[in-house]
Amino acid sequence: MVFEIILIYGLVEFYYSSIEAELNRSAQSIVYNYNQYLNNYELYKDAKVLLEYIPGNTVAQVQIIDDRGVLLADSIEPSMEGMELNYYDINMALSGKQSIWKGKISQTGEPVFSVSWPITSPDSEKVIGVVRVITTLSDVNEILKNHIIILVSLGFCIVFLIFLTGLALTNTIISPVKEITSAAKTMAQGRFDVRVSKRYNDEIGELGDTLNYMAQEVSNHQKMKNDFIASISHELRTPLTSIMGWIITINSGDIDSKEELREGLDIIEKESKRLAVLVDELLDFSKFDAGVITLRRSTVNLGELLSYIKRQMEPRAVRKGITITIDVDEELPWIDADENRLKQVFINIIDNSFKFTQKGGYIDIIGRKKESSVLIRIEDNGCGIPKENIPKVKQRFFKGDSLVSGSGLGLAICDEIIKLHNGELNIESTVGKGTTVDVILPVQLEI
């Protein structure tokens, strides 16, 4: 609107300035001709002669006025000759100054624009009269009125278009933001099934995609957590059922032989150890989740540690008909690490290999010295892991489609332990061919 007002003001000024310039040219021409050709004549006698010097393209009314303000000659209304005129521009011209005047004629009320130039005596520079050029403003004002109506109408159209554009922008920006806000509030209440619709490929659309991704990840995490709770409940209930069953049998005195009693006690011992492992995993998970786990570092001989683990696992390998081998560089460096935690990692990985490797298979333990790290590789030729599950096996609670028992926390805890050692745990696997797990540890201390 401000621009429109400025434009209208500029348009009016342009028209009036053009009129003023044209009237000034006509008045100047008449005064010049008087000074050149008629200055020896008396103005009051030859005023009408001066009208003959009006430029041919002048359509305005020209008046010649004497030094008393009396109209001597008029190009359009001769009947007014002899009248005394009292207008601002005439009075200013009689004082020796060029002047303009815009106003209305008192008799008719017609709007006019006039310029007045003084006529001076050539010998004394005394003002002896005035040349006044007048034009009506009726036609110009009508043109300006039409232009202003067009500009105002155009302004309203522009404002209306801006309003429609703003309304459209509101729908494209505010509405998606409101939808995202509503979805976020719903998610804050624990409902992660809600999704934000993507309307445009812009920053808001990207924000909606991010919110949807977050909701999906939280939903997946909750599902894994619920599956974990159901699984761990089953894992705890199964050994407890066996233990309670044998304790009741022993207490009832229904044991007929020492062999049967020994079998029952063996089952109680194995299931108790299984329970202890589950409880340890839960405790580790709780510590890692709270961020309070600490490492008890010492100087660790990796070669000896891996050999010890291999010897520990050999009886199990014999029972299952699996070949377990070790191939470690003689110059494998010692490292600064938590020996018990590393043992936990390697035993957990090898335990998984036992679970998924059939009779006649193999498990290889390999240790290699790299430039600034140590590579521990555990390979097997078990059933392998589906490609789509490999990125998930280190996630907490993930168990895949296997029917093998477990908490789904083992590899997640192992990965956390290796990260605390500033190392990496990488897994590669092919279904039907086997799995390779690489543990890379930085060499922080060599002896």
Strand pairing of 362-369 and 323-328?
parallel
Whether residue 107 is contained in a domain is answered as: yes
Whether residue 265 is contained in a domain is answered as: no
- The Cα 111–Cα 91 span in angstroms is 19
Give the residue from 110, 136, 162 where a domain finishes: 136
Q: How many domains does the chain have?
A: 2
For residue range 243-294, what is the model confidence (pLDDT) as tens digits? 888 888 788 877 777 888 888 888 888 878 877 877 776 777 677 666 667 7
Whether residue 92 is contained in a domain is answered as: yes
Determine how many CB atoms are found less than 10 A away from the CB of residue 217.
11
- The Cα 353–Cα 74 span in angstroms is 121
Q: For residue 328, what are the β-bridge partners?
A: 367
State residue 446's pLDDT score: 44
State residue 57's pLDDT score: 66
- What is the rounded (10 degree) CA torsion for 308, 310, 312, 316? 180
Q: Sheet containing 373-380: which strands, arranged edge to edge?
A: 323-328, 362-369, 373-380, 434-442, 424-430
- The Cα 410–Cα 348 span in angstroms is 7
- The Cα 199–Cα 208 span in angstroms is 9
Whether residue 119 is contained in a domain is answered as: yes
Residue 420 belongs to domain spanning: 298-442
Whether residue 302 is contained in a domain is answered as: yes
Q: For residue 412, what is the domain's CATH number?
A: 3.30.565.10
Whether residue 386 is contained in a domain is answered as: yes
Give the residue from 136, 151, 176 where a domain finishes: 136
- What is the rounded (10 degree) CA torsion for 312, 318, 322, 327? 40
Which one-letter DSSP state was computed for residue 427?
E
Query: At residue 110, what are phi and psi to the nearest 5 degrees?
Result: -75, 135
> How does residue 115 score in pLDDT terms, banded at 50, 70 and 90?
very high
376/214: higher pLDDT = 376
- The Cα 287–Cα 281 span in angstroms is 10
414/232: higher pLDDT = 414
3-state secondary structure of 365: strand
Whether residue 413 is contained in a domain is answered as: yes
State residue 2's pLDDT score: 73
Q: Sheet containing 61-66: which strands, arranged edge to edge?
A: 71-74, 61-66, 127-136, 111-120, 99-104
Which one-letter DSSP state was computed for residue 345?
H
Whether residue 289 is contained in a domain is answered as: no
Q: For residue 125, what is the domain's CATH number?
A: 3.30.450.20
Which one-letter DSSP state was computed for residue 390?
G
Give the residue from 136, 159, 187 where a domain finishes: 136
